[in-house]
Structure 1
Amino acid sequence: MRKLLGWVLVGVGAFLLVVGLLATTWAPDQTQKTPLDVNSQTYLTGTAQKINPDTGELDDLDVKILSDTKVDSERSTDDVALFVNTTCVTEDAPDTPDCIGDKNDPRLINNSVDVFATDRVTALAVNDQRFEERGATTHEGLVNKWPFDTQRKTYPYWDGMLNRAVDVTFEGVERIDGLETYKFREVVDEEPAEVATDIDGLYSQDKTIWVEPKTGSIIKQQQSETRTTEDGETLFQIDAVFTDETIAKNVADAKDNVGSLNLLGSTVPLIGFIGGPILLIVGLILALGGRRRGTRVASKREPARV
């Protein structure tokens, strides 16, 4: 019985060692990748000023923003995720839907679609003819998330108004609902840009982004954007921030994902590399020790003499 138990422990110990080895070598490459089933909706709320073409005056508006982001799994690969992002900015009025398809609807401020490809590990934009043929447009830097194991440093971050990446600087560490985040900031000051269709002007942006560093997911974002004519006349201005509901959901999702990564990256290897050898040693002692005792007992038995 002890011999059988010993070999069982040897098998379990060897299994734990293999699991620990896989958790430190193979698992990170599989788990620290952007999943191909992303389908998320991010909501922002705020205020805006928009030029009224009929009066030439600025209208003060309450606004809401929906950012719908999905991975097109059929057009993605093992290394690159192809995203389709739809952004709708509408007047926050009673009975106004989150997204309006009719461009003539006066409640609609902006409705745009952006298709881009990013590396599933580094989160950096990928510009390749294969993905351009699948609908992606040229992007630079980070687009919609930070890399796994985000560092406290400056990153290049895509700005769609400028059609290029700009620097986002690390501003410090903050906790949001108990979750540690890294705070990054983008500042653009009166850069030349196409501020409206066929209208050149000046564009300014002050955007702060809170990122969960283990997963690189964006937890919170607030921004202040201004578009003016080249003479400085304001055409559009908006201040917006993630809704409380969106922030709460992002925090909950991040905590779950961090827990899963920590389980695979720390807890499982610890159990495997500590528990595995212990069970191996105990199992070998029981299995081989029992065999030696059995051999000694048998050797003492002498055949009966007649």
Structure 2
Amino acid sequence: MRRTASPLSLILLGLGVFLLVLAPMLAWYVEPRAKRTPVDIDTITVFKGKGSYFDTEKIKTVRDKNLTITRQVRGDVDDSNSDHAVWDVVTSVDPDKSLPAADPHDSLQFTTERWVTDRETNKPVHCCDEKPYFEGEAYLKFPFDVQKRSYTWWDNTLGATVPLTFRGTKKIQGYEGYRFTAKVKPAKTGTRMVPGRLVGQPKRSNVLAEEWYANHGVELVADKRTGRIIYAAIGPRKTLRAPGSDKDATVLLDSQRIAFTPKTQKAQVKLADDDSSRLKLVGETLPVGTSALGVLLAIAGGVLVIRGRRSDSGAQGPGGPGSAADPGGPNTDTSPTALQPTTM
């Protein structure tokens, strides 16, 4: 009777082949689909720094005061889908006296925004009541797999994109990311009706003053794999000018640097590290480990199969089926006529 390979050898061989097929699927199919901007996000980031602002009670600019920027980002799960993410963003700017603000509208500045982006590329998607209309590549985050190149960053106060220049790497709370910087030159962003004395025209009761904006410096540090911003610092300057003037008359807000607090840095780093580790597991660790294990199992299974076949071959030799000692074999010396009558 012919023997077959053992069940163990076939199991090992089959499992090895399965793992070898699974490995590239993890790297080329599963991981790219895991790189999607989350839609169930709910985070708060806080910036702190020193600066000047226009005090509406004193009707003048006060200087060297503590300033806090608080930004809350919530994903709109109902309006998001597999292709695009919808995030509602609330940002407030406060001096110490308006903290904690019972109503965000009591803040020095208060804005609401609605960001809609492609979950894979991070490019803007113009739908779902987006506010404002925006362009560029980087906003509240960078695209996945951040590259060592310049990116266009959307500055909502400016209402336009700003080029971000790659400046190497920087460690935030011991975690390394890619560093980008930019500056924004003074630009007119709108108009506002104000008392004439605020823009150097005291004889006029009201003047349609020009609003100007600049930024002393933008610094962003992004996680290489996920694009999550783990550190941010800005230097906003908002002023009023008389119509047609090239000089600032009143400072509304000015700070050389307002940056993520240490608490926010730690929280952002933890989120980035967790997300990055999961993507690395699916895209690198598991494919490499699965490939290595698949090769070992396939080799082990193949060796056992070959050995099993050799054993079967050996069983066909002396003493095996078909040998001279086997009376039923084809090489028997006994004549058929000795066992059965002739038909002749």
Q: Closer, same or farther in 2 for the Cα pair 1:195/1:40, shift >3 Å?
A: farther
1:147 corresponds to which of 143, 149, 153:
143
2:282 corresponds to which of 242, 264, 270:
264
Match of 1:204 in 2: 214
Match of 2:187 in 1: 191
Task: Structure 2: give runs of 5+ residues left out of the alignment.
Answer: 194-207, 242-246, 329-338, 340-344
Q: CA deviation at 1:165?
A: 1.2
1:174 aligns with 2:190: no
Give the alignment of 1:217-228 within 5 angstroms.
217-228=228-239
1:65 aligns with 2:69: yes
- One-letter amino acid of the structure 2 residue matched with residue 193 of structure 1: T
Q: Distance in 2 between matches of 1:11 and 1:46?
A: 62
Is the radius of gyration larger for structure 1 or structure 2?
2
Q: Distance in 2 between matches of 1:65 and 1:121?
A: 29
Q: Distance in 2 between matches of 1:221 and 1:199?
A: 31
Q: Distance in 2 between matches of 1:67 and 1:143?
A: 13
- Where 2:145 maps in the other structure, the secondary structure is coil
- One-letter amino acid of the structure 2 residue matched with residue 19 of structure 1: L
Count of residue pairs the alignment pairs up? 297
CA RMSD of aligned residues (A): 2.5
Match of 2:35 in 1: 32
Identity %: 25
2:9 corresponds to which of 6, 17, 21:
6
Q: Distance in 2 between matches of 1:187 and 1:212?
A: 21
1:118 aligns with 2:99: no
- Where 1:147 maps in the other structure, the secondary structure is coil
Q: Closer, same or farther in 2 for the Cα pair 1:28/1:201, shift >3 Å?
A: same
Match of 2:25 in 1: 22
Match of 2:312 in 1: 294
Q: Closer, same or farther in 2 for the Cα pair 1:157/1:87, shift >3 Å?
A: same
- One-letter amino acid of the structure 2 residue matched with residue 209 of structure 1: L
Match of 1:77 in 2: 81
Q: CA deviation at 1:115?
A: 0.2
1:216 aligns with 2:234: no
Q: CA deviation at 1:221?
A: 0.9
Q: CA deviation at 1:232?
A: 0.7
Q: Closer, same or farther in 2 for the Cα pair 1:72/1:102, shift >3 Å?
A: closer
Whether the aligned pair in 1 keeps the contact of 2:236 and 2:254 (CA below 8 Å) is yes
- Where 1:222 maps in the other structure, the secondary structure is strand
Q: Distance in 2 between matches of 1:178 and 1:165?
A: 30
- Where 2:286 maps in the other structure, the secondary structure is helix
Q: CA deviation at 1:192?
A: 0.9
- Where 2:108 maps in the other structure, the secondary structure is strand
- Where 1:150 maps in the other structure, the secondary structure is coil
Q: CA deviation at 1:288?
A: 4.5
When the two structures are superposed, what TM-score results if normalisation uses the length of structure 1?
0.87
84-93 vs 142-151, which deviates more?
84-93
- One-letter amino acid of the structure 2 residue matched with residue 201 of structure 1: E
When the two structures are superposed, what TM-score results if normalisation uses the length of structure 2?
0.78
